[in-house]
Structure 1
């Protein structure tokens, strides 16, 4: 699985370090609660809410240049809408990768 990086954010921000830092802060603020929301939805077999949060999270994969995880989340969102959570473990691994990464930036 691809590792997260800030290449896309740096490209968007250009020389605007303040914008880059604000973007990173938004990720650090939103991600933990979204991960908790996902885990709660899965534990309750709430496929609709799980699919909704996967939809939101897939954009964070894209922003962090995690192309493999983005592709996984596109497929997984469709599967959740069909009440299939087989890719839960793979998805959680991707979330843990982001969680670890956000602590380093």
Structure 2
């Protein structure tokens, strides 16, 4: 599984460490909330709402440099819109991977 990284954030910041820290702080605040809403919707079988949650989470996946994981999330989002949970385990593994990474920052 690919590892989250800060390469994209660092490339956006142009070396501005304060900007990097601000962005990391925002992600660390928003990610757990968005993840919790996703789990609520998927457990309630609200697939359309869960697809919207995945769509939002895709941005954080991208920001943390997870290119292949972004594609997995995009496929899963599409499946949810078709009322299929194919890809759920892979997507939730990505969320766990991101959670563990953000806890180290």
TM-score by length of 2: 0.97
Residue 94 in structure 1 maps to residue 86 in structure 2? no
Task: Give the C-alpha shift of residue 55 in structure 1.
Answer: 0.3
1:7 counterpart residue number = 7
TM-score with structure 1 setting the length: 0.97
Q: Deviations over 1:14-40 (max 9, x none)?
A: 121110000000100000011111111
SS at 1:84 equivalent: coil
What residue in structure 2 maps to residue 103 of structure 1?
103
Runs of 5+ unmatched residues, structure 2: none
Q: Which has the higher contact order (CA 8 A, sep 6+)?
A: 1
Partner of 1:69: 69
Q: Structure 1 runs of 4+ off > 6 angstroms? A: none
Deviations 1:32-60 (A, max 9, x none): 01111111111000001100010001111
Name the structure 1 match of 2:38: 38
Q: How many residues align?
A: 105
